[in-house]
C-alpha cells in the first residue's frame, strides 16, 4: 500500500507598500510564493507548481502575479 498526495506550502517573501488597484488606498501588500509538491509516505518529492501572489492588507483582495513581476518587485526569487 502506497500513500501519496499533494502538499502546498505558502511562504511570505516580503511586505511592500503599494497603491491597491482594487480599493485605491496606499497600503501594505504581502508578496507570497505557493509551492505544490507530490508526496509519497508524507515525504515531498519535487516541485510541480510554483506561483506568486499578492494580497492587500487594507481590503483583502488577493491576486496572482507572474514570476517576472515578483522578481521586479525585489523578491529575489
Mean pLDDT, 10 residues at a time, over the chain (77 residues)? 89 93 94 95 92 95 93 72
Residue 38 included in any domain: yes
Which pLDDT belongs to residue 24? 92
Query: Residue 48 is part of which domain span?
Result: 4-72
Structural domain total, the chain: 1
Determine, yes or no, domain membership for 77.
Answer: no
Give how far the C-alpha of residue 75 lies from the chain's centroid of Cα atoms, to the nearest Å. 11
Amino acid at each position: 500500500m502506497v500513500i501519496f498526495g499533494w502538499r502546498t506550502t505558502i511562504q511570505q517573501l516580503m511586505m511592500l507598500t503599494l497603491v491597491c488597484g482594487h480599493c485605491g488606498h496606499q497600503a501594505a501588500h504581502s508578496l507570497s510564493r505557493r509551492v505544490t509538491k507530490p508526496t509519497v509516505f508524507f515525504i515531498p518529492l519535487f516541485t510541480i507548481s510554483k506561483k506568486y501572489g499578492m494580497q492587500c492588507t487594507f481590503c483583502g483582495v488577493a491576486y496572482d502575479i507572474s514570476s517576472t513581476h515578483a522578481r521586479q518587485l525585489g523578491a529575489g526569487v
